[in-house]
Chains A and B, each alone.
Chain A
């Protein structure tokens, strides 16, 4: 079965600290896509990154970086030098062979000033 697990339900860090959000997925598909979305208090899901299963290269975008490891079925997200504006709920998601998006339960991140 397809499944996405975000074991951390809630994390609090002090501003400027680095924080890593974990994501572990399960799928039988050999071709799949992984996503991270950010949901601020306004409710809208904001797309952050898409990664396909054939591309294990890690990616960095400003203060954000993603570590994709097929061997451990993980797709972790790190925010460097966190800021208060990073406070949100972050969702990891998997697109299955039927093109449905399966979301994890989300990690609520609090960045304390």
Chain B
């Protein structure tokens, strides 16, 4: 079974630009969540999507948005990039049933550098 895939793996942008990151979950998984990892703040939850609806949201500004498609693939968009948005963006997938044995499986991440 293929794992979580994220594209692109590396990205360089300049301040003020926007960026879209993509995540394909494990087959059969309907929930996708996104995390930002930086040396200073560690791993922080961005948002979670389940069946094309945002189910949970972290404390990030509105510049960060996402969506999920009917095939469960998800995209994350950051508009008006700032230097502080440079980070590793990790996507995780799970069945989404909020059941006892729920575990999130992570992708390799997209490393974004904002210049």
Write the residues of chain A forming the contact surface with B, with a CB cutoff of 8 angstroms.
33, 35, 37, 42-47, 50, 52, 91, 95, 98-106
Contact = CB atoms under 8 A, between A and B. Distances in A.
Given A47-B103, A50-B103, A91-B43, A99 B98 contact: yes
Interface of B: 33, 35, 42-45, 48, 55-56, 58, 88, 90, 92, 98, 100-109, 111
B90 A45 contact: yes
A99 B108 contact: no
A43 B109 contact: yes
Given A37-B106, A47-B103, A100-B48, 17 more contacts: A42-B108, A43-B111, A45-B90, A50-B101, A50-B103, A52-B100, A95-B102, A98-B56, A99-B98, A100-B45, A100-B56, A101-B92, A102-B45, A103-B35, A105-B42, A106-B42, A106-B43
Given A43-B88, A91-B43, A106-B42, A101 B108 contact: no
Contacts of B45: 100-102
A103 B43 contact: yes
Main secondary structure of the interface of A (DSSP, over half): strand
14 contacts: A44-B108, A45-B90, A45-B92, A47-B103, A47-B104, A47-B105, A95-B102, A98-B56, A99-B98, A100-B56, A101-B35, A101-B104, A102-B45, A103-B43
